[in-house]
Amino acid sequence: MKKGKTERYFYPAIFDYEDENGITVSFPDLPDYVTEGKSEEEALISARNYLGCILIGKEEDGEEIPQPSSLKDIEVKSTQRLVYVDVYMPTLRFASINRSVSRTVTLPAWLNAIAIEKNVNFSQVLQEALKKEFKFTNKNIF
């Protein structure tokens, strides 16, 4: 697939109803990845979430993202149905950027002792202090 940022991917998925306990979902273009759901709705949500994880991981690792097959080119068994699953990438990319990272912070021992005694959440205090320092609001973070 072309380099650059694709906004929305559409991949064919095979919903397999062979198991009485649920629906297995596989992606012909991504053969190493399978997910499932107990109902069609749960299977579709699981497929969309899983596909998003696969694709964001490939983007972050610089791996090639395969071209999706056409539905007409995929054969399915009688217990299977073929559907397109779509993923909106800007939301996933933002979530990926907004993930937490671990930082080491040095404090005077006396300040650390007081904070521990008062059950201070160091991460929350640091986040709030940095947002205040940079004058961030929910509207202007990015």
Q: pLDDT value at position 50?
A: 93
pLDDT per residue over 24-33, tens digit each?
A: 999 999 998 9
pLDDT per residue over 102-114, tens digit each?
A: 778 888 999 989 9
Q: What does DSSP assign to residue 140?
A: S
Q: What is the pTM of this model?
A: 0.66
Find the angle CA(98)-CA(116)-CA(130) to the nearest 5 degrees.
Answer: 30
CATH 3.30.160.250 for the 8-97 domain, yes or no = yes
Using a pLDDT cut of 70, give the percent of the chain over it: 91
**CA 30 vs CA 18, 43, 65, 86: distances in Å:** 20, 17, 9, 14
Domain assignments of the chain as residue spans, ordered by start? 8-97, 100-142
Q: pLDDT value at position 138?
A: 54
Average pLDDT over residues 90-111: 81
